[in-house]
Amino acid sequence: MSQHPLKKFLPLIPAALILGSLMLPSGCANTTTPPSGGPKDTIPPVLTKVAPLPGAVNMPTKTKLRFTFNEYVKIKDANAIYLSPPLEKKPKSAIHGKSLDVSFESELDSNTTYTLDLTGAIADNNEGNLFPGYTLVFSTGDKIDSMCVTGLVQDCNTLMPIKGATVLLYKDHSDSAVFLKRPVAAAKTDDWGYFAIRNIQDTLYRVYAIKDENNNNKYDPETERIAFLDSLLRPTIVYNDSLYEFKKFDMKDTALCLARHAQIELNLFRERPSKQYIVKKERVGPRTAYLTFMAPDAVIHDMRVRGLPREKLIRQFNLQRDSLELWVNDQRKMPDTLQLVVKYDKTDTTGKLIPQEELIKLTYSKELRAEIMKKENNYRDRKHEDTIAVFKATVDPTTVEQYGFDLEFTYPLIEDGWDSLQFWSVNPRQQEAKGSVKVIKDTTNLRHFRIMPTEPFQVGYDYNLKIPHRKFRDVNGYYNDSTLLKVTLPKDDKLSFITLELSGVHNRYLVELLTEKRDKVIRSFLVDKSGPVVFPYLKQGAYCIRITEDKNRNGMVDTGVLLQKKQPEKVRFFKVEDQFLIKVLERSEMVWQINMKEMFE
């Protein structure tokens, strides 16, 4: 495409203006005032010359590139100087005067179109003003490939953009390519998780994205996250300089960056490790320890502590079954080393899972041993919590209707007194009435319980739950102190409500209200039928609503499996006027209709 003849001089204009201003006489200067140094330089470097010229063909496979600027510059980030397709080793770069020289340790491939991107790599030498970026295209063959593709890389759970991910294109469609070979084209995502790959061939590609921790442009499953496109991709757009998506934008300009169109979306996830073994062990108390497994879903056939009956060992897996807590239900003094015998499915040298028995020695750390000895030898060093069954009891007025009173013990119980709980209400006329409660045991945490009243809460009533003294005993042999919890439903008329009217519910879904930054779950519901989901008592602010399709009904977001072509479970965020953030005003009641089938199809 031909260009206006003045366009090639545009990069020189800022430099000419600066130079011209320096040459003008300052006839009105006050010679009695010391020089102030002038205004701070905020103008980024301007590229004035490139060698070879953009679009050069038949370049030698052993070559060097030079970029000359209008001022002295420095390399801000050498890793941001990115060649596509990448070589075995990253480009070498050096500053000579006002020029950046880029060379390669190995020869380039023949008959190949290359792009070298400088976005985020260069800044001026004085003020550190960042060069907005430039992409040079050249070929070692007799033509320049012309197709392009754009897209977005995001986290599979939060759908937040992933900065610095590497997007890889392969003409080799085999499953092993991403593990063993370098791609035929690649690009890094910017601050918004956005990528734009230009000057590629018109052919079918297998597309991946990885968080390339060791910068080798290959997937290392033990340490890296990955995303993949379900189907093969054939580029449909021919690159030209006027394409909006390929312009260099200030990453702080939200509107411009979000206006770019993404052809494909890639959801980054961490795979389950392929090998199973015990990676960590720790003794955290006289009767407490834990084990960590390399992979989830650990299978244990037998477990015991030498010298103790099997039933004396209490154990609990986390939800993923890759972390195991252990407690010894025996009040005798414990030895310095607990010898734990574990028979579990472990990966052997051939990569197969087979039952193997392993002896785990659980010893005190020096610090823990010193602390225990200090308390044993000096009763004055013992705190009150060292001699009772410690628990944490909480209640949140905004969530009590859903979650009730929350009770979690530090150690498992060997005696409980749930029948001794006392619950009563006080109405606005200060009349007391006894009530009843039910105890809900947490299926994933044997130390955690929820206490739910059997009657609905009422606005204006005070509710009291008393846990009496010495009714619960833990594995250390200690009894509990008493405590009293009080709660009243919020009466602040400034609080707001969100109601989601769900239809088309054909699977099980996890519906969650999140904070503005999507880093904390405020409230969650498991839904398997159509109907309303209500989020009450919300303060003014911004929130997000995340909905996860829980097809296997395990209450968690399952990750993907690359070789099985299995994507992580689908996550969607409810949008209002095409925005993820839901702005809640004071005294508002918002109701939205959501067709779950449409959302997930």
Q: Write the pLDDT tens digit of every residue in 43-59.
A: 999 999 999 999 999 99
CA distance 248 to 117: 11
**Beta-carbon contacts of residue 43 (< 8 Å; ≥ 6 apart):** 14, 18, 129
* Paired tokens of 87: 């070589």
pTM: 0.81
CA distance 402 to 464: 17
CA distance 367 to 365: 5
pLDDT value for 42: 82
Q: Write the pLDDT tens digit of every residue in 265-301.
A: 999 999 989 899 999 999 999 999 999 999 999 999 9
Q: How many CB atoms lie within 10 A of CB 503?
A: 12
SS3 category, 593: strand
pLDDT value for 41: 74
CA distance 125 to 75: 9
pLDDT value for 490: 94
20-29 burial code (b ≥16 CB/10 A, e <16): eeeeeeeeee
pLDDT value for 37: 55
Residue in the block written with tokens 């006289």: 286
CA distance 211 to 220: 10
CA distance 5 to 110: 33
pLDDT value for 20: 40
Q: How many CB atoms lie within 10 A of CB 467?
A: 22
pLDDT value for 46: 95
pLDDT value for 39: 66
Gap between the terminal Cα atoms of the chain: 41
Low-confidence ranges of the chain (pLDDT < 70): 1-39
pLDDT value for 38: 57
What angle (nearest 5°) sits at the alpha carbon of residue 388, between those of residues 387 and 389?
A: 140
Q: Do strands 147-155 and 264-268 pair parallel, antiparallel, or not at all (unpaired)?
A: parallel
Beta bridge partners of 499: 534, 591
pLDDT value for 4: 42
Domains of the chain: 1-21+40-144 (2.60.40.3710), 278-377 (2.60.40), 386-488 (2.60.40.1220), 496-600 (2.60.40.10)
CA distance 6 to 10: 7
Q: SS in 3 state form for 463-532? A: EEEEECCCCCEECCCCECCCEEEEEECCCCCCCEEEEEEEECCCCCEEEEEEECCCCCEEEEEEECCCEE
pLDDT value for 383: 84
